[in-house]
Amino acid sequence: MPEKILCHRCSFILYQGREPVLPGDVVKKYDRCPRCLTKLSRKPIKVLIEIRGKK
Ligand SMILES: [Zn+2]
């Protein structure tokens, strides 16, 4: 299932894709949010993308 991982502060999309990733790995990759420069929390917001009209 596709998923997004967002900055907890500004909702910048840190990761988006079909491959599931660990939020911890995203934090390691960025350390700080590229947009708002906030130090990322240990657990960024993880959002599963809902598929509309699933059958
Ligand atoms: Zn941010």
**pLDDT at residue 39, as a whole number:** 85
Q: Is residue 54 part of a domain?
A: no
Q: What is the pLDDT along the chain (55 residues), one digit of tens a residue?
A: 788 888 888 888 888 888 888 878 888 888 888 999 988 866 556 555 555 655 5
**pLDDT at residue 11, as a whole number:** 85
C-alpha of residue 14 to centroid of ligand 1, in Å: 9
C-alpha of residue 17 to centroid of ligand 1, in Å: 18
**pLDDT at residue 34, as a whole number:** 92
Q: Is residue 26 part of a domain?
A: yes
Residue 9: DSSP 8-state: T
Q: Is residue 7 part of a domain?
A: yes
Q: Is residue 44 part of a domain?
A: yes
**pLDDT at residue 30, as a whole number:** 86
DSSP 28-52: HHHSB-TTT-PBPPSS-EEEEPPPT
**Which range of residues forms the domain containing residue 29?**
3-48
Q: Is residue 18 part of a domain?
A: yes
C-alpha of residue 19 to centroid of ligand 1, in Å: 22
